């Protein structure tokens, strides 16, 4: 448990872009010290860390290969060295490449499994070993596990695995006072989601939820921040955040 006079410390994987970046900034506004991780986009990672500081928190940016357990362990080492420990882990790094099952290059399937499944597992493994009492682990899944849209089989399968890991880990951490949950966004206006999609398709997706719009990264960041802090009685759950589309 952290001292009430010291900030809670969060690691946000995939924190240089999209939902991860918005989440890091949101946690910064709540006074967290944030370790923003990035894969190859160093400039974006450093800017995301600067955003956290501008929002009122503390931050550093650290490069990581989420599927390499040694690289992931080094991020946790750095969080402990600089900020004294880890209280919250947000697991938002991921890739999404689309093709029908019949046409998908299996190398693309392997890429999804490496980043989205092995990467989530490696980060959760370190989190399970190192997150302090009173902490939270939040994995980012996807509402595509329920939408079942053609072309998304590899991505949805990888996110189904993330949900399974989440629910089991919550039970494995019995007695530790650490919550483990997943957030499953629907269509959300990130670069990863918007890339290559025609406006007609985006308009059709926006019309699906009763709220009649595509989600924004800040919508998801708000839920993650809730799970990271005050939501101590939500545990072992997948929260579908898609404006009511399903």
Q: Is pLDDT at 4 greater than 80 in this prediction?
A: no
Tell me the pLDDT band of 190, cut-offs 50, 70 and 90.
confident
Polymer length of the chain? 246
d(CA 206, CA 228): 28
DSSP of 71-136: HHHHHHHHHHHHHS---EEEE---------TTT--HHHHHHHIIIIIIHHHHHHHHHHHHPPTT-E
Which amino acids are annotated catalytic? 155
Q: What are phi and psi of 101, to 5 degrees?
A: -55, -40
Q: Whole-angstrom Cα distance, residue 204 to residue 223? A: 25
Residue extents of the structural domains in the chain: 9-239
> Per residue in 83-93, pLDDT tens?
999 999 999 99
Whether the Cβ atoms of residue 55 and residue 25 lie closer than 8 Å to each other: yes
From the options 3.40.50.720, 3.30.1360.120, 3.30.70.1450, 3.30.43.10, give the CATH code of 9-239: 3.40.50.720
Tell me the pLDDT band of 192, cut-offs 50, 70 and 90.
confident
Would you state the pLDDT for residue 3? 59
Would you state the torsion angle of the CA atoms of residues 24, 30, 33, 35, taken in this order, to the nearest 10 degrees? Answer: -10
Band the pLDDT of 2: cuts 50, 70, 90: low
Query: CA-CA distance, 90 to 23, in Å (whole number)?
Result: 8
Q: Which of 98-107, 144-153, 170-179, 186-195 has the lowest mean pLDDT?
A: 186-195
The arithmetic mean of pLDDT across residues 9-19, rounded, is: 96
Question: Residue 10 in contact with residue 34, Cβ under 8 Å?
Answer: yes
pLDDT band at 113 (very low <50, low <70, confident <90, very high): very high
Q: What is the mean pLDDT of residues 50-76?
A: 98
d(CA 166, CA 59): 26
* Residue recorded with tokens 């990888």: 158
Query: What's the pTM?
Result: 0.94
Residue 194: per-residue pLDDT: 82
CB 131 within 8 A of CB 139: no
Confidence of residue 232 (pLDDT cuts 50, 70, 90): very high
Kindly compute the dihedral angle of the four CA atoms of residues 161, 244, 23, 21, in this order, to the nearest 10 degrees: 80
The arithmetic mean of pLDDT across residues 215-222, rounded, is 96
């Amino acid at each position: 448990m952290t001292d009430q006079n010291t900030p809670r410390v969060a690691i946000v994987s995939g924190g240089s872009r999209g939902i991860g970046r918005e989440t890091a900034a949101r946690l910064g506004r709540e006074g967290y010290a944030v370790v923003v991780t990035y894969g190859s986009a160093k400039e974006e990672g450093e800017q995301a860390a600067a955003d956290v500081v501008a929002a009122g928190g503390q931050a550093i940016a650290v490069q990581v290969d989420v599927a390499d357990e040694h690289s992931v362990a080094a991020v946790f080492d750095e969080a402990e060295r600089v900020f004294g420990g880890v209280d919250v882990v947000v697991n938002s790094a991921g890739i999404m490449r689309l093709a029908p099952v019949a046409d998908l290059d299996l190398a693309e399937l392997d890429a999804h499994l490496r980043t989205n499944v092995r990467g989530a597992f490696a980060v959760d493994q370190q989190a399970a070993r190192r997150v302090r009492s009173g902490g939270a682990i939040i994995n980012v899944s996807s509402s595509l596990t329920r939408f079942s849209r053609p072309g998304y089989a590899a991505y949805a399968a990888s996110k189904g695995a993330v949900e399974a890991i989440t629910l089991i880990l919550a039970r494995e951490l019995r007695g530790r006072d650490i919550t483990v949950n997943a957030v499953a966004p629907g269509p959300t206006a990130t670069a990863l989601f918007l890339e290559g999609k025609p406006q007609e398709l985006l308009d059709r997706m926006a019309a699906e939820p009763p709220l009649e719009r595509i989600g924004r990264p800040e919508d998801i960041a708000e839920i993650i921040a809730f799970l990271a802090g005050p939501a101590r009685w939500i545990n072992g759950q997948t929260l579908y955040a898609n404006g009511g589309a399903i």
